[in-house]
Amino acid sequence: MVKGTDKRPRLAVYRSSKEIYAQLIDDVSGKTLGTASSLSKNGEVFAGTKIERAFKVGKIIAEVAKGVGVESVSFDRGGYLYHGRIKSLADGARQAGLKF
């Protein structure tokens, strides 16, 4: 089981059949530090394929992490295989400067 701390929170990923969601979680204090999803705040969906949207979510969660002072995370893929949308999200986060 992957655990997160205040210095290295857990990046938890959930994917449904259409969308993908990411959370930064500090398991020690039990707080969520930030979230990102393929749905915008007003409920609209990003343009592109599911893999392209997952890449954008990875970039967004990396920006959220930088905003709260986090540079590295523990990646919790939630039991999903590391390919497709999960890999794309991780690649987007890495490209935006987040370290795993």
| 53-to-20, 37, 42, 49, 57 alpha-carbon distances in Å | 8, 9, 16, 6, 6
Q: Containing domain of residue 60, as a range?
A: 10-95
Estimate the crossing angle of helix 85-95 against helix 50-67, to 10 degrees.
Answer: 40
Residue 5 covered by a domain: no
Quote the number of domains for the chain.
Answer: 1
Q: Could you tell me if residue 31 is inside a domain?
A: yes
Quote the mean pLDDT of the chain.
92
The CATH number covering residue 49 comes to: 3.30.420.100
* φ, ψ for residue 93, nearest 5 deg: -65, -40
Give domain status of residue 28, yes or no. yes
Residue 4 resides in a domain: no
What would the two tokens of residue 78 be? 């939630």
Residue at 66 is within a domain: yes
Determine the average pLDDT of the residues in 80-98.
Answer: 97
Domain membership of residue 3 (yes or no) is no
Q: List pLDDT tens digits, range 5-50.
A: 778 999 999 999 999 999 999 999 999 999 999 987 666 677 899 9
